Structure 1
Amino acid sequence: MPGILKAARVLLFIIAGLQILAALALFFAGLAVQSGSVDAADIEDLSAPVLFLIATSGLVLAAAAIVIAARFRSGRGGVRAGAIAIGTLVAVNGLVNLFTGGGFAGPSIALGCVVLVNCLRKPANDYFNRPRTTTP
């Protein structure tokens, strides 16, 4: 596996970890709003179900990133396309976060762009399109 793909794989695991942490924070924020201990105006008028939905989507993205990163070694079944899709989603999410005034947009944009660029380079294309031998 080329070094750029090893880096993309590690970054996918980092993205998954950060998504899990963010999802947990949103889940606990939703619980706080639902119990009434925090006013919804403190977190930009988001209701508890919206926070739970955002947290769930973050967990789904984290699970997808873990599965894609784990399948990098075999290089089959759309692994490259999945990594490109995850990198794009993370980068676009960071851009939306940046333009809406949210914090921590920079790391999302950087991680997503590095995964995207590494998976689009020629060595990545050669690795994922290599001939595969079958064992009898």
Structure 2
Amino acid sequence: LKVLKYKPFLIKPNNHELGEIFNVELNTRDEVIPYAKKLQEMGAQNVLISMAGQGAVLVSDNNEVIQSNAPKGTVVNSVGAGDSMVAGFLAGYLETGSYKKAFINGLCCGSASAFQVGLATKEDVESIKKTLSEN
């Protein structure tokens, strides 16, 4: 919350952290959207909310709301998955300039890392992207 006055390009709380900020319980993708918008009013440009097995939601600075179910897979170790999601989102945005493509890249990077003991490889991420597009 302390950095919002600096208008960060991206923040990525999970649904539990977002709920703690506003003292509410947020369980569905639709429930997180108004609170993501409140974070934007407070200064965040883009808000990416991870929701573990429920997927993720992005509320972008152009008022677009993008959401997706989580890719299918078995979670082995979720440590680092959120950081991988942020890295994938930023890499995808820098490469394409598209929030939709950045969102998908971030979602797949985070999931690929959660499905591994260590960090995922580019091949792991691309494999998950294929399964996501099949759903």
User: Which TM bucket (shorter chain)?
Assistant: under 0.3
User: When you count strand as a share of all residues, which structure comes out higher?
Assistant: 2
User: When you count helix as a share of all residues, which structure comes out higher?
Assistant: 1
TM-score (norm 2): 0.24
TM-score (norm 1): 0.24
